[in-house]
Amino acid sequence: MLATWSRRLVSLILFVCLQPGCSLFAQSANSSVNDWVKKSSSKNAPLWSGVTDVLPALANVDSSNAMEKFKEIENNGNSSNRYFTCRLNLAKAVYLREHNVPVKAVKGLMTKAITAAYETDNDSLISTISWQYGNMNYWGGEIELASMYSLNAAEIDEKIGRKIQPELYAFLGEVLYVTRDNEKSIYYTKKAIVGDPDTSFLARDRNMKRLNTIGLCWRRIGNYDSAFFYFNLALSKAAELKEEIWESIILGNKGQIYFAQKKYDLANPYLNLTTDLAKGMVNSAAPQILCSGWHESTFSKERKIAH
């Protein structure tokens, strides 16, 4: 996968962007254990209440001291309060993943968090934890679990009318692309495009790659007319943005269709262009992009998703 954003930047963007009105760093350094317990236990507080206070406070604390602090919070809380149990285990899991503990080692924590979320009967909290668990599973290599939890989260949010940010639609589209669930990938990637208007260079760049992803899904399905349609839309945006690398990549994707149709005279110029690009850009991002499957890959390993 091509990592176009740094891990820290993407973590911060997705950690904050789905938590409207929540200040990630507010008062974290001075919050007491009792404050964290109170915030984590509240039924009516923001979904990430307590979590967004304790994590910044422990960001630069070594793991042994952090675990002692989590233990202190746990001892001062009420384990029968499912909101508290959910948020405490979520905070532990996110902290450990941020400190490069393998996903397998935090699965127990996330299982406790999602079980507690279901016991609250709070659909918004359930979808929040499901998005996060899907994300962790994706970057931990558990692709089927990532698909299951992320898709469940999206369906819950759509059912209750809760706004889904385009970044999450795009993430789900990418997960479903990897699992080869092409029609659903198209569905959610389109939603990402609709939710991310072309009002900036970065938005146009993201949507160019998403259009390319949709084209690739149609190509897999075997609907070449639709694939060409979306590749041409993506190509138009790439030209508008003067993204020469992506122009060549998209042309290469079109060339692969001609090759599959045994139209070699049409395929070869496009495929040769892509091959020449890779050879000529050894020290650039091009080889990474070309090896990524030429689909949208705007997520670096790994991201934290708050919702």
Distance CA 117, CA 114 (A): 5
Least confident of 2-16, 176-190, 276-290: 2-16
Contacts of 21 (CB under 8 A, 6+ apart): 46
Distance CA 146, CA 301 (A): 14
Distance CA 234, CA 241 (A): 11
> How many H helices and E strands in the chain?
15, 0
The answer to whether residue 16 scores a pLDDT higher than 70 is no
Q: Angle at Cα 288 formed by Cα 173 and Cα 147, nearest 5°?
A: 25
Q: Give the residue among 259, 265, 256, 268 at the shortest CA–CA distance from 294.
A: 256
CB 209 within 8 A of CB 5: no
Token code pair at residue 99: 């400190």
Mean pLDDT of the chain: 83
The answer to whether residue 126 scores a pLDDT higher than 50 is yes
Contacts of 163 (CB under 8 A, 6+ apart): 157
Count of all residues that appear for the chain in the document: 307
* Residue 277: CB atoms within 10 Å: 21
Q: What is the pLDDT of residues 245-268, one digit of tens each?
A: 999 999 999 999 999 999 988 888
Q: pTM value?
A: 0.79
The answer to whether residue 133 scores a pLDDT higher than 70 is yes
What pLDDT, on the 0 to 100 scale, is given for residue 185?
A: 97
Q: What is the pLDDT of residues 47-66, one digit of tens each?
A: 999 999 899 989 888 889 99
Q: Give the residue among 128, 115, 157, 131 at the shortest CA–CA distance from 49.
A: 128
What domains are there in the chain, each with its CATH number? Answer: 19-161 (no CATH), 165-300 (1.25.40.10)
Q: Give the residue among 117, 61, 131 at the shortest CA–CA distance from 84.
A: 117
CB 241 within 8 A of CB 283: no
